[in-house]
Structure 1
């Protein structure tokens, strides 16, 4: 764990709110010059606390399903497990690949044009690695909710609105939009000038297109990719089985308000509701979990949890 001072935490919070803010804009909000903000961000990157900046893109608005599956390995072979991880990381249509400690070993989230394509991806993987895969648990996101990491600002509750993705509403776009999205998906703080050069267009066109992509909610936000371990945090997932689905909006409202609940997923083929916590210890995880259980004791039938301990890939746009 690396020690951060109050200014570093404030900078992380501003980047969490919008990673495309300029150093000058961040500086005004945290009480530092743009030069000092630039130095501190570079230092956070150098230390590996910030691993990059990514753009949140709604796949459904580009006519993609957002799908995922969990894997459980068998025949203990670390070399083969790494080969499987590398295989999924290199696939152009995967956008998140985390290692897991608990009832699963690996998660794979990807974009697919339809369920046939999703099935083919699973079958291709099984054809290649089936002797080493004990179980595969597929699912298709119907909706996922992204909440701000209010704990970065030491807030007791979160008042920022959630980002709700995979809404299913196709939005018209063209090749220029796709070029911009592919570049900015992995580099959310890229300058307009540099982005224009890479897209072989003008800065004015890029500014216009970005505003349009944001207005149409194809681009839903810009975030830092934080190495949680280096700031002393852990990432847990809790799968809830419910007795009353009408209470899901109430659970989501509570989740959005909690500083340590950062994601919620509604999945076809998954649990009734999936929540993800970022906490500074197992004890804090139990505290947050117990808050949820006590508040919704008449709704939650059962639950299971596991720990994400390493992200191998995150990119919200297929290449």
Structure 2
């Protein structure tokens, strides 16, 4: 049995976990409305992508907008579901964990329903995506060892009609963007924020050593599910004062555990669609590899790119306005690196069932 069982002192955390799962399930249910995206909206969203916890008053001042206008624009983005929530990017490696991705096909509707049910309730699973194509699921399991990840995967698929599948380990992140090429490249200088709950200054300070405890992990998990959660709400959940929570978050940022507070974007509102591209490459020298990484990092079609260990060498999330544009992207990358690209596979994203940068199994 791989579902994590908490001790008595963790009962409150178990309740929080259930609440967050329900919130994740609601994403995408709200009726979507068209969004008119003006230049000021782009500037505001650019700042929110930099740090979703930035105070509205500060955003208004640096953009020379009224607070009322800024609040209205942000609420409009939320109402249209363009901003569909928020997450905190957590450095799981500093906590001793790795992300293991499994791509698989499931052959029957009953098996699919049971698989989704198991993944949504499993504490090791932080991400579940569905695709249209030969491989119809991508699953992310956060574990300390390959053996642990394999055991969880076997538990999730036991007795189900699973076809072809393969695992991969994320080993080097190359790019992580939110709306590449869509928002302004530069943002205004942000400083002197009073009572700063965005912790902007801490991201700029020199990193320092910091050892986390159980309460720190609870804070990290709370933020990983909702980057905009108030310090008071966190404090009530973990049994600390607001000042104590603030102090710990500052240490978690400077310690390198918290990497970013970011919005969740519903790309369909902007008529954008996301595709996954798996790439197998031939061995090449370090110079050519760096050139390939540079290409991925500065290509506006690439949303996220990572080097992986497994059947494939790279996993990309690519964003385009039309489905056909993905083939133009692949054609260009093959032309630019014709001696490097051996094989590729395109997966068309269909639905996100679960998405976070931390699993509840990490809170021990």
TM bucket normalised to smaller = 0.7 to 0.9
Deviations 1:210-244 (A, max 9, x none): 22212222111122111111221111111222123
Matched, 1:234 2:293: no
Q: Check the 8 A contact 1:13/1:150 in 2, yes or no.
A: no
Q: Distance in 1 between matches of 2:334 and 2:359?
A: 37
Match of 1:210 among 249, 268, 292: 249
Matched, 1:14 2:21: no
Match of 2:158 among 116, 127, 132: 127
Matched, 1:115 2:153: no
Q: Which has the larger radius of gyration?
A: 2
Q: Map 1:87-236; keep pairs closer than 5 Å.
A: 87-129=118-160, 132-148=161-177, 149-153=179-183, 172-236=211-275
Deviations 1:91-134 (A, max 9, x none): 112111111122310111121122221111121123232xx211
Helix, strand or coil for the counterpart of 1:2?
A: coil
Q: Distance in 2 between matches of 1:91 and 1:67?
A: 15
Instruction: Show structure 1 runs of 5+ residues with no match.
Output: 156-169
Equivalent pairs, count: 302
Match of 2:107 among 74, 79, 86: 74
Q: Check the 8 A contact 2:35/2:80 in 1, yes or no.
A: no
Q: Map 1:24-103; keep pairs closer than 5 Å.
A: 24-75=57-108, 77=109, 79-103=110-134
Cα RMSD, aligned residues only: 2.3
The equivalent of 2:195 in structure 1 is: none
The equivalent of 1:2 in structure 2 is: 34
Q: Check the 8 A contact 2:210/2:252 in 1, yes or no.
A: no
Shift of 1:252: 1.8
Deviations 1:184-217 (A, max 9, x none): 1111012233333333212222222222212222
Q: Check the 8 A contact 1:13/1:152 in 2, yes or no.
A: no
Deviations 1:116-157 (A, max 9, x none): 21111121123232xx211221122112334322233166xx
Match of 2:291 among 228, 250, 258: 250
Q: Check the 8 A contact 1:260/1:279 in 2, yes or no.
A: yes
Shift of 1:29: 4.3
Greater alpha carbon shift after TM alignment, 5-14 vs 230-239? 5-14
Distance 1:39 1:290, change over 3 A: same
Q: Distance in 1 between matches of 2:331 and 2:261?
A: 31
